[in-house]
Amino acid sequence: MTDDTLPRMVRDRVARGGPRPALRVKRQGRYRDISWAQFGQAIRSFALGLLALDLQPGQTVALVGENRPEWAFTDLAILACRGVTVPIYPTATSAQMAYILKQARCRIVVLSDALQFSKLLGIPESLPHLEIAILMEEPEGWHGGRPPEGAHTWNQILVRGQEGRVELLQRLQACLEEARPEELATIIYTSGTTGEPRGVMLSHANILSNCEAMAQVISVGEEDVHLSFLPLSHIFERMAGYYFILSRGATIAYAERLDTLAQDLLAVRPTVLLGVPRVWELFHHRTMKAVERAPGWRRALFAAALRVGHQAWVAGQQGRRPLRVRLLHPLADRLVLRRIRAALGGRIRLACSGGAALPPHLAEFFWSVGVPLLEGYGLTETAPVVACQTPAHVRPGTVGCPVPGVEVKIAQDGEILVRGPNVMLGYWEDPEATAEALADGWLHTGDVGAVDEAGCLAIVDRKKDIIVTSAGKNVAPQLVENRLRADEFIQEAVVVGDDRKYLAALIVPELARLEEHARARGLMWESPEELVARPEIHALYAERIAARLAELAPHEQVRRFALLPAPFSLEAGELTPTLKVRRRIIHTRYAEQIRALYPD
């Protein structure tokens, strides 16, 4: 039997893995291993339980929960029954959950805990297709009582599967043998940065072709350990940090929570780590803040070591090792650089950034301290990787070359077009959007980019986000925003200016850094609103914004800006679960502040 479907791939790995750890999970304060054999048994038992609930091939099952072993057991059990997994972010509201459950016609939903179940119960509208809810954790109110009609606990379904009725075993075996690579495996709803979410249909072949392509450019093996903390509902973590890791026989450890990530890194000491740009920005800011608090001689030592680290990285990319670097780099590493890596566990040999553009200064920082941070590019519609840097070929400002088997070309208007085995089947029940996206045999990504002389892809911006000023000048807002976010006093920036004479920006300050600066200068304030309204603070940001954008063209300069007293949030719908700004929401919510930036 080949491993050309996801369940067959995992079954092959289970057979080879045996007692080795497949997963690690934190229980009662310490990490415990789940062997490949235990992993396979859990998938099998839950799959049989789903078949006992009469799950049929092609039926959709929603999965709502945080990263944990049960997420993987459930997903792979659904796929083993030839069902279709529909992941929903655990941060989704009741309304967002209802939209997906109804649109995808889910008959079964698996939820992590009582909080997610309460969201389900809070949906006011009718969900005619939904019949069964399964909870990974039993709510306290159920002990000794009756659960609501149609509700089951995880253990109840597991026990039904462990009974091992002959007809269920035969059905499961038939599903494993009859499944085809081109069958629909999952429907992933886009984050809705530009409108209503669309259900992206990906087959087993789409995902596994991307796993195989990644294996040809990045080396991951059985000895590697990945710390999973990005949401599995997102295709980046789902493919790169889950299916790809499993396909290589490596181990997945789950972070307990985002706020315990620093401790979990030290406990797990991963060799592989995936993050979105905001995660790398936070680590960089934290490091630089610690350096600022250090005595002057330590700050000077850090700066010198970072310069040597940068020289060593650049020399390595050029295939040379100057004597000065050979002499100084081991000393710089021993005194400074390895201490920085220790905060990430000290064993990172491969780090990847995806989900949004990575500012070049962040890539240079991590490479200089000895963390090989690779940037890639992709979309949910491409399962997801289109291009990726390799450790031997890093060109800052690009996302690397297309991965094997994937073709990229640039349309006349600059749009990136993609063709390959990883391109989606289409959008769920949306033939018009599918035809538009897959016109002429190419996926129209909606991103604007360019290919350099080395074949590396550079991303300019989203096609819909390009700003055209009243003077007819085209501006890519991400270019300006990335430069602004590189400033230690700026957490987030959103640039506006479509059909206007000049660019303006909404700026979210790095509040802790700003308050520290204000206290050092004897300023007084009672609230964040009062602090950002002070003329001294406005002057500070005007100076820093001008310095950050000094190298850009006149039409790319931010002429006016507004300081916001509170950060954008997931809860307010201003950020996607991967921390990307929802521009449409921001433009609507802060319309008054934007209007004030254009008094004429």
463-503 pLDDT, tens digit per residue, is: 888 888 887 888 889 889 988 988 989 999 999 998 899 99
**Residue 264 pLDDT:** 97
Token reading at 15: 């057979």
List of residues 6+ apart from 118 with CB closer than 8 A: none
113-154 pLDDT, tens digit per residue, is: 999 999 999 998 889 999 999 999 988 766 556 677 788 999
β-partners of residue 31 are 26
CB 157 within 8 A of CB 135: no
Distance CA 208, CA 114 (A): 34
Q: What mean pLDDT value characterizes the chain?
A: 92
CA angle 285, 286, 288 (to 5 degrees): 65
- DSSP code of 336? I
Cα 206 to chain center, whole Å?
A: 19
Among residues 397, 112, 87, the alpha carbon closest in space to that of 238 is found at: 87
Distance CA 358, CA 41 (A): 40
Cα 248 to chain center, whole Å?
A: 20
Distance CA 187, CA 185 (A): 7
Give, in order, the Cα–Cα distances in Å from 185 to each of 1, 61, 181, 246, 467: 19, 11, 9, 17, 37
195-218 pLDDT, tens digit per residue, is: 578 999 999 999 999 999 999 999
Distance CA 3, CA 211 (A): 12
Token reading at 107: 């008959």
Distance CA 550, CA 453 (A): 27
DSSP 52-98: HTT--TT-EEEEE--SSHHHHHHHHHHHHTT-EEEEE-TT--HHHHH
Distance CA 241, CA 272 (A): 9
Tell me if the bond preceding 384 is cis, omega within 30° of 0. yes
With a cut of 50, which residues of the chain have pLDDT below it?
A: 1
**Residue 2 pLDDT:** 61
Cα 395 to chain center, whole Å?
A: 22
**Residue 144 pLDDT:** 56
Give, in order, the Cα–Cα distances in Å from 301 to each of 308, 327, 331, 338, 367: 11, 16, 11, 13, 18
Distance CA 562, CA 526 (A): 19
**Residue 356 pLDDT:** 78
**Residue 53 pLDDT:** 95
